[in-house]
Structures are given as C-alpha cells and as structure tokens.
Chain A
C-alpha cells in the first residue's frame, strides 16, 4: 500500500456520513517484542482543507505572520483524526470507518 492510495480518499463514518478527505497520515514509533523498531500507521488525518497543516500551522511553533496562523487554524478547525483501528474498508476513493463522526477526536495538533 502507498500513501498516495490513502491521501485524497473520502472517509465515511458508520452511518455513511462524510467525515472529510484524508490529507495526512499519522505515524507512531513502536518497539517490537524482539527489540526492533517499527514505524506504525496510527491514524488518518481528515478534514476539509489540509493546506494549513501542510504549511505547519497546525502546531503552535508557527507564529506568524498575520493573518496566516489565524486563517489556517480556522480552516483546519474541523480536522479529525481517524484511528487506523477503526478503519473497516479501503476502496479508493472511499474509506469506511466503524466510528460515528461525533466520536472522533480532533486531529492531534490542532488541539495541542
């Protein structure tokens, strides 16, 4: 599987409601029982517009210049994180998840 097969897909929740478009993939490093390390796909970040995140405005390390932080944080406010464990089917361009839209957390960085 490649990232290009996931990024850009439409995500639909358990009730068939659209959650958003996948704009980024969230990874986490895990140490295996045998001591080796893997880089695991943790969640899909979905939302209307991924540009703000792309430019780095999801995080608070980005401070200026006016009006970009405000603008992009506003655009990214609906970004949601879909945990991979809740993904039930990937059929590009559709991804189905088992959770309901209102059960999903906001994408990690927007809230931090």
Chain B
C-alpha cells in the first residue's frame, strides 16, 4: 500500500514537474496562432523525453552514475568539456527564463512590475537549493503544479470545437496564411520545451540523490513513461484552451498572462487563482531544478562532491556553482530583456543541445559490461535510434530557423 502511494506521488510530481515556462509559453503561442496543427510536435517531444529520461534513469540506477559522469567517462576529458560547458550555459539561460516566469506570475497576481520580483525569486530559488530537502522540493512544487489541470477543465466549459481540433491534430499542416518556416520554428520550440536538457540532468542526478538502485527501476519507469506523457497532455491542454478563445479573436500570444486568459474566460476567478498557483509552482520548481542542474553538470564533470544529500559545507564547490548560476541568471533577467523572448531562445538552444547529452547515454545504455541485464533491449534501441535521428534533424534545423524567422516573428 505504501509502495503504491509513493509511486502515485512520484507520478503526480512527474506530471507537475514536466511543465515549465517553456511549455507554458510555447503551448500558448502555438495554440493561439496555429490551432492544434502542432499537436504532433508535443507528442514527439514528450515521447522523446520519456525515452531519454528512462534511459538516463536506468543508467543512473544501475551504474550509480548520473549523466555527466557518463559523459566524461565516455567522451573523454576534451570532448566532454564542450558538453559540460554548453549544458551549464544553457542551464543558466533556462534558469533566467524560469526566474522571469516566476516574476511574471507574481506581477500577474499583484500588478507590481516583474522586475521588482526578480531578485526575490532568485533569492528564494537559491534558498531552496541551499536548504530545502530534495524530496520536499520535488513533492511540494510537483503537486502544486498539478493545478494546471484547470486547463483541461476549462476546455469542457469553453465552446470547444472538438471535431475540428481533432481534425487539425491528426492532419498536421501549415494553416492558411501562416508562413511555413514560422510553423516549423514553433514545432522546434515545442519539441525543445518538452525535452529540456536540465530536466534529464535533474532526473538522473535526482535518482542519485534519492539513492536509486536496480530495484528502483519500476518507480523510475512509471515516472518516465506515465508521469511525463501525462505532463505532455497538460501542455496540449494549454494549447487547446487557447484555440476557442484566442485564435478566433486574432490574438497572438506574446505575454505570459495571455496564456491564462482562456481559464479566466471559462472558470472565472477560482480557475484563475488555481492557474496562478500552478504557474508559480511550475516555474519556481523549474528555477530551482535548473539552478541545481548547473551545479550537477559542473561538479559531476570535475568529480567534485555534489548534491543536496550532503550538507552544503561538504559539497562546497557544487554549491558555489549553483550560487554563481543563480546570481548570473538573476542579473541577466534584470537587464529587462523580455522573459518570453529568453524562454524562446532557451528552448530552441536546448533542442539544439539535446544530442550532446543524449548520445553518450544511448551508448552507455548499450554497454553490457556496465549495464548487465539492464542493457538496452531491441525496442529501446529501435526507438532510441529513431528518436536520435529526429533530434539530429531538429538540432540542425533549429538555429537556421531561429535566424530565418527572427525567433518566430
């Protein structure tokens, strides 16, 4: 009974933890602009994330090595410095986007400019990294993030044209009057919002923090194969809620609060209040996680002691990297650069960087000497290779599309 409860809790936090500022922004924008025609991108991204996370989690559980141990041991000191460096910069950029998101949510609630909230958001994210026990952090924010279900509820209260949305979802194509490169660009952002490198770094390092072993495999798989896809479904709900409300009025989403408007239209103040809480939880948890992930990447690459399971004094260099990342990201957000723009850049660059961490994990998951009977099965390799080809294409297309469409203008 207790085991079932803990598994349920794990799934619920995985659902809530899946959605972050990237999903909120990209789902809102694409729903309002392209209807459900980009459903496939969320599905591809979510399945990819589930596969990637399962593989990374399995490698960590069996070998007790989180992702950047594996990266350095497999790729060697020189090649992996590029991976570790790029991932850390990306984590800081993501952290900046999440801190911007937290502050925008607080602005939505209070009406006070988000810039006032940025330093506070940074401070609290750091305090969570510094002191809050790992399990609390995952559970509290993961569960509050589940409030995003209001978007699903809202869909039933809105004049949702289900057959038309279904038709768009199963017959993807560039909607009339929309430029094709922009449509493709947003497809990349949706995939990038689902497969965020920091989430995989966090998932696998978190496995070590919680002391996963080969016995934790079921729990880990349930999180990856049930929790993440349900999280992807929430992303789709956010996209779908924009369709009956924002699309007919010709509203293009360029601010976070527009993403919440459909819920206000459908459910009024109560729904809106739940949106505020869940947006806050989703972005705040992601801020703490991406901050931690910077520390994880650098410390694992260098072989320093890391993690929240040690007192900070015993993992001083790890905490130093986390602290520096939070400071850098806070400063970056304070430059008044639009957090929504930062988010778009973060998810696109994230999509471009996925192969850097995905590739070594696939390789190690195939090493029978390390993995024993937990080595990749045929289905995992077939799916893994197929997905790798997709990610290589996405990765190669991401930067040209970013330049060509001027970040989706």
Contact = CB atoms under 8 A, between A and B. Distances in A.
Interface of A: 54-56, 59, 61-66, 68
Contacts of A68: 363, 366
Contacts of B25: none
Contact of A64 (B74, B75, B76, B376): B376
Given A54-B74, A54-B76, A55-B74, A65 B368 contact: no
A68 B361 CA distance: 13
B92 interface: no
B63 to A, nearest CB: 13
A68 B388 CA distance: 12
A64 B381 CA distance: 7
A62 B367 contact: yes
**Contact residues of B: prevailing secondary structure:** helix
Contacts of B388: 65
Contacts, number: 38
Given A61-B368, A61-B369, A63-B368, A56 B363 contact: yes
A100 B388 CA distance: 42
A62 B367 CA distance: 5
B366 A65 contact: yes
Interface string B65-103: 000000000111000000000000000000000000000
B385 A63 contact: no
Given A62-B367, A63-B366, A64-B366, A54 B385 contact: no
Given A61-B367, A63-B375, 6 more contacts: A55-B74, A55-B363, A56-B369, A64-B376, A64-B385, A65-B382
A82 B367 CA distance: 27
A62 B366 contact: yes
Contact of B75 (A54, A63, A66): A54
B384 interface: yes
A65 B378 CA distance: 9
Which of A55, A56, A61, A65 is most buried by chain B, counting CB atoms within 10 A of its CB? A65
A6 to B, nearest CB: 15
27 contacts: A54-B74, A54-B75, A54-B76, A55-B75, A55-B363, A56-B74, A56-B363, A56-B367, A56-B369, A59-B369, A61-B368, A62-B363, A62-B367, A62-B368, A63-B368, A63-B375, A64-B366, A64-B376, A64-B378, A64-B381, A65-B362, A65-B381, A65-B385, A66-B381, A66-B385, A68-B363, A68-B366
A55 B80 CA distance: 12
